Structure 1
Amino acid sequence: SRAVYNSEPGRPSGNVTTGRKGGVFMRFDVYGKAAHSGGNFTSGISAIGELAHKIVQIHALTDLAKGITLNVGLVSGGQSVNTTAPHAEGQIDLRYIDPADRARTLDAIRRIVDTPTVAGTTAKLEIKGEFLPVVQTPEAKAIFNAYQAAARDAGLASLDGEFSGGCADSGFTASVGTPTICGVGPVGGNAHTVEEYLEVDSIVPRAQALALAILRTKVD
């Protein structure tokens, strides 16, 4: 491709996205032993108890200065309130900037998953999905400059580029060397919350800026 314009929402500032974090989505399962929690308490091994220890350890890997964040966003487990949980699971969101930090953090997560705190538990880790980071190359910078000029001609005088901690499909095209800009869609914010919004008045000028940028993209 000559260029990729990914129509993720524009930033709340009105800017587009010229850099993004990479992300890895994982699931880890913890196994214990079921037992009646009143009549046979000492025979049980709590998978939920072990899950709780692992969540705290995984969250502790967050390093904001390096742009590394960990979030266990979904958990489930157990079979009844009066049974020691034989199974529990959590789902992990890892975000990073430097690919070397991806490898180091995954190694640390694997050690946490493989090392029990509650005796008798076992666990396994599975990668469920992944997004690659967007890094602005000189070619992508040139495409951004052309898009910025088109945006000015469409009436978006103050548009600039900025970095986002979110992931998007744009990481895949950027990773193979295609000049990529993300966030050229309508302006919005507060994603994945009840306060999520889109600025309706931004739809037409953002579409005009994108169309003009595409028409001006050189094709050999």
Structure 2
Amino acid sequence: MPNSGRISGNVVSARKGGASFEIIVKGKAAHSGVNHADGVSAIGGLALIITELHALTDYETGVTTNVGLINGGMSSNTVAAEAKAKLDLRYITKEQMVDAMDAIQAIVDMPRLQGVTASVRLISAFHPFESSMSDGLLAHYQTQAESLGFSVEGEFTGGCSDAGFTSSMGVPTLCGTGTVGAKMHTEGELCLLDTFVPRTQAVAKSVLLLP
């Protein structure tokens, strides 16, 4: 199924790339009342790491970092021996991807608290879908859409898709050619059914009439 079109009616001509990481921090357990000083908090170490990871966000360049899930410890009266976090990274170019991944690794590797160790592993990654790989195909699609009675523009979005893989291989790519929709990944997710037929026709004509 094609990715849904934007609520504006536009198709997607460029996307951010994204990567997901798991960070594991290990400390030393201790009773927080009896022998607090003997423990080293993995949660405390993770908190320091998260602060620096979030500082990598730069809205002007389009790079964002988000630790959206954390867990650790066993009880409130125990100094936590382990803590984990899931990190989301977004970027616009391959160069940003490489630089950000290097920065993440350096932050995790940096010693902060004696007795705390940290590691990071890449879970998944999407290449960015850069606009240079959609220009020609977008113009072709727009011609077919106009022949069917509707106009459409290309639009940039921060979400990832497989379009990043095809475009990174040098394959002309266009995304978001499905039915117009909105509020993805929420209970209010929707698609406009009256856009199903014309959008499908535009894709079919675009494929059949490729130069």
TM range (shorter): over 0.9
Counterpart of 1:48? 43
2:187 aligned with 1:194: yes
TM-fit CA distance, 1:148: 0.9
Residue segments in structure 1 that go unaligned for 5+ positions in a row:
1-5
- Aligned-residue identity in percent: 45
2:175 aligned with 1:173: no
Q: 1:24 aligns with which of 1, 19, 22?
A: 19
2:107 aligned with 1:125: no
TM-fit CA distance, 1:204: 2.0
Q: How many residues align?
A: 211
2:145 aligned with 1:151: yes
TM-fit CA distance, 1:12: 1.7
3-state secondary structure, aligned to 1:191? coil
Counterpart of 2:72? 77
How has the CA–CA distance of structure 1 residues 92 and 217 changed in structure 2, closer, same or farther, with 3 Å as cutoff?
Answer: same
Q: 2:28 aligns with which of 33, 50, 74?
A: 33
Tell me if the contact between 1:27 and 1:90 (Cα under 8 Å) persists in the aligned partners: yes
Q: 2:60 aligns with which of 61, 65, 70?
A: 65
Tell me if the contact between 1:50 and 1:116 (Cα under 8 Å) persists in the aligned partners: no
CA distance in 1, matches of 2:136, 2:102: 37
2:142 aligned with 1:142: no
CA distance in 2, matches of 1:116, 1:86: 17
CA distance in 2, matches of 1:85, 1:38: 13
Tell me if the contact between 2:93 and 2:130 (Cα under 8 Å) persists in the aligned partners: no
Counterpart of 1:3? none
| Root mean square deviation of aligned Cα | 1.6
TM-fit CA distance, 1:156: 2.0
Tell me if the contact between 2:18 and 2:125 (Cα under 8 Å) persists in the aligned partners: yes
Tell me if the contact between 1:45 and 1:121 (Cα under 8 Å) persists in the aligned partners: yes
3-state secondary structure, aligned to 1:180? coil
- TM-score of the superposed pair, with normalisation by structure 1: 0.90
TM-fit CA distance, 1:153: 2.3
CA deviation profile, 1:69-95 (whole Å, cap 9, x unmatched): 001111111122321111111111111
Residue segments in structure 2 that go unaligned for 5+ positions in a row:
none
CA deviation profile, 1:152-209 (whole Å, cap 9, x unmatched): 223322x100111111101111111111001101111222233332222222221121
Q: For residue 144 of structure 2, what is the amino acid of its counterpart?
A: A
2:7 aligned with 1:12: yes
